Amino acid sequence: MRKKLWLLLGEINLIRKLNIDLGNQIEQVQENIEAILAEPGPIDENRLQHIVQKLKKIIEDFEGSHPGVTSKLGKIVDFLSRMGF
């Protein structure tokens, strides 16, 4: 799971480098993922579920204006959902 979170963090960093304005929501998701990865031990599933919900909100808010970005985020959300989050 940590490997997938590192991949998600990489995708978010790529999105941020594109200078696409997704508001501060994507920054909050990035900070939450970084905090989870900094903690030792098992990943808190409730916090991960919160991240999934935030990503879904970003997709909903920006899929009309940034379909490529939201498509990538959607694939990540789908993966996390299949894992039970």
Q: Where are the domains of the chain?
A: 2-18+28-82
Helical H segments across the chain, by residue range: 2-17, 25-38, 45-62, 67-82
More confident residue, 81 or 64: 64
59-78: average pLDDT: 85
Instruction: Please state, in angstroms and rounded to a whole number, the distance separating the CA atoms of residues 39 and 35.
Output: 7
pLDDT band at 38 (very low <50, low <70, confident <90, very high): very high
In the chain, % of residues over pLDDT 70: 96
- Confidence label for 34 from pLDDT (cuts 50, 70 and 90): very high
